[in-house]
Structure 1
Amino acid sequence: MRKLIITEFISVDGIAEVEKLPSVAWNDEMQKFKDDELADSGAMLLGRTTYQIFAGSWPKETGDFADRFNALPKYVASTSLTALDWQPAELLTGALPDAVRGLKQGSGGNIYVHGSLSVAQELLRHGLVDRIRLLSYPGAVGQGKLLFPPGAQLPLELISATQFSNGVVALEYAAGMA
């Protein structure tokens, strides 16, 4: 069975809006983290907004990482999109939890949720997330969109924590563990 993995850039106070994160120089350690994710990925699950942002930029990127990232199957959770230009892609139909249960039963590598906070939150509420991978930026931003909504309680088991030379900490958790 495929695992569903949320991957986010996040501040230490839980804000997952990339444009609000402290400025940090991208480095080889961060690139390796993302390379490892890509090697483990069999597909992406994206919400409408993240799909549109990615579709507007990734097809123009070049290089090995971009080629592999662009080639991944993309599953898109949207009630308003009718066509998907960034291929291979498929619009999910029906209730998101049911669609994701079906995807997890399918073949292929793990499914990564990039950004897509409302999708991530719904999947967390329904207990469909197996892992959470975070690049935690060194700083609090005070306000913005949270990965975990206020009042949400979710037991997590720390799998790994690695501090990078630029102050970013890579964290991986198993979700739903006591």
Structure 2
Amino acid sequence: MADLVLTICSSLDGYAAKTGGVFSPPPWSDDVEAAWSAAALARAGHLLYGRVNFEFNRAFWSAAETDPASVAAAISYAAQMNALPKTVVSRTLTGDPGWNGRIAGPDLAAEVARLKRETTGDVFAFGSATLAQTLWSLDLVDEFWLMVTPEIFGDGAPVFHPGRPAGQLRLVDCRALDVGSVILRYRRARNR
């Protein structure tokens, strides 16, 4: 059975996005690419997105298939990103979202349970703090990857909202990166 791995970036003061929901990409390097992106793609059999992140990534990665001059076309794992099946959690999207994706049904817990049963590899969730909160609240997260960046936003969308359920985690890995970020990997401490 696949695990659901929740991945999210956070400023040092705990924000996933700046004020107004503005995404601030983490500092990037070959070291970050190997420890974050390549490590995730080595395990991923399915990707789970929130709508905004899905639409951003669809526009970015799809360009690799149609525009050889695009930034995405120069990235070695672009074909893998485009080929992986994807599910989008959204209350507003309808129809075929494209990019090898489908829209999650109204029962997210049942959807994730099905993905865990049917996926070879793991299900990697990429999304906002809202998607993270929803997945955590439904007790669906098996592993948590947090990249803490060397930035202080001062305000914005917090990774952890007040009122979230409590939970115990076990540290799996802690890796300092050459850009000053740190990747923390935790597993849920629960009986399966």
Q: TM-score w.r.t. structure 2 length?
A: 0.83
Rounded Cα–Cα distance in structure 1 between residues aligned with 2:188 and 2:112: 16
Q: What is the aligned residue count?
A: 177
1:72-116 alpha-carbon deviations (Å, 9 max, x no partner)? 100111222113343211111121112111211113110111123
SS at match of 2:77: helix
> Which amino acid in the other structure matches residue 173 of structure 1?
Y
Is 1:36 paired with 2:39? yes
Q: Which runs of 4+ in 1 moved over 6 A?
A: none
CA distance in structure 1 between the partners assigned to 2:155 and 2:93 by the alignment: 29
> What are the ranges of 5 or more consecutive residues in structure 2 without an aligned counterpart?
64-71
Amino acid at match of 1:11: S
2:11–2:152 contact (8 Å) kept in structure 1: yes
Deviations 1:123-177 (A, max 9, x none): 1011110111121101322211122112433322111111112211111011355
Q: How does 1:10-49 map to 2 (within 5 A)?
A: 10-17=10-17, 19=22, 21=24, 24=27, 26-33=28-35, 34-49=37-52
The gaps in structure 1 that reach 5 residues or longer are: none
108, 127, 135: which one aligns with 1:96: 108
The CA distance in 2 between the partners of 1:70 and 1:7, in whole Å, is 19
| Residue 161 (1) aligns with residue 174 (2) | yes
One-letter amino acid of the structure 2 residue matched with residue 174 of structure 1: R
In the TM superposition, what whole-angstrom CA distance separates every residue of 1:6-38 from its partner, at most 9, and x where no partner exists? 1112112221127565873x1121010211111
Give the structure-1-normalised TM-score: 0.89
Question: In 2 relative to 1, CA 66–45 (structure 1 residues): closer, same or farther, beyond 3 Å?
Answer: same
The answer for the alignment partner of 2:60 in structure 1 is 57
Conserved? CA contact 1:11–1:21, under 8 Å: no
Q: How does 1:82-161 map to 2 (within 5 A)?
A: 82-152=94-164, 153-161=166-174
Of the three residues 83, 86, 91, the one matched with 1:79 is 91
CA distance, structure 2, for counterparts of residue 12 and residue 68 of structure 1: 31
